Amino acid sequence: MNIRSLLLLCAVVTSLSACGGGGGGGDLIQAPPPTTPTTVVPGTQALAAGTYKLTFSAISSARLLAPISGIDVAVKFPAGLSVSTVTGGGTGQITSTSITPGSAILATSLAFGNYSASTRTAYLSMATSQDTFRSGQFLNLLFTVASGTTITPNDIYALNVTYPTYKVIGLDTVTHSTVTMTGSVLTTLGVER
């Protein structure tokens, strides 16, 4: 990674850190290529006990002024679902193995977040040095369905019709400044097994 890319990534991360919605640590990681086929779970199918992946995708709804450099979201979970944290599943930083960049992120990136057990809300952030990302899957979050829980993907979607927190930032490489593009980007959720 050259110094310019590193400086641009630092500018994006600094901009996103001022967005609020929790901090948390993250590891600088290279987005892995998809290795295991996954199955998209239909919205009305009950989720059996076990681990699932919540996928986040971005779709531009207007011409973007710059490539997307970072996205912050908050997502709510129904009772009976949990996220792995460094505190053992309670409130705290989400483990680095549970939150990863999405398949559309091809460059060095950061994926990190916090989980509030009392509000059942995960606060997630993604930042990338990729200078071509404008749409696609940007984040994955593993969650667990407890035994005896009756829940469908539609129950998750219904809680998140509008995100409690949502911000999209781009980096203008001409002016070397950030551009807020929240109104020009929509996000979607998916559940995979």
- Average per-residue pLDDT for the chain: 82
* % of the chain beyond a pLDDT of 90: 65
Q: Does 38 score more than 90 pLDDT? A: no
Q: pLDDT tens digits, residue range 129-142?
A: 998 999 999 999 99
Spell out the alpha helix ranges (H) of the chain: 3-17, 153-159
What is the Cα–Cα distance from 131 to 128, expressed in whole angstroms? 8
The pLDDT value recorded for residue 165 is 64
The pLDDT value recorded for residue 41 is 82
In Å, what is the CA distance from 1 to each residue of 4, 5, 39, 82, 137? 8, 6, 34, 36, 23
Q: pLDDT tens digits, residue range 56-115?
A: 999 998 999 999 999 999 999 999 999 999 998 789 999 999 999 999 999 889 999 999
Q: Are 128 and 66 in contact (CB under 8 A)?
A: no
* % of the chain beyond a pLDDT of 70: 79
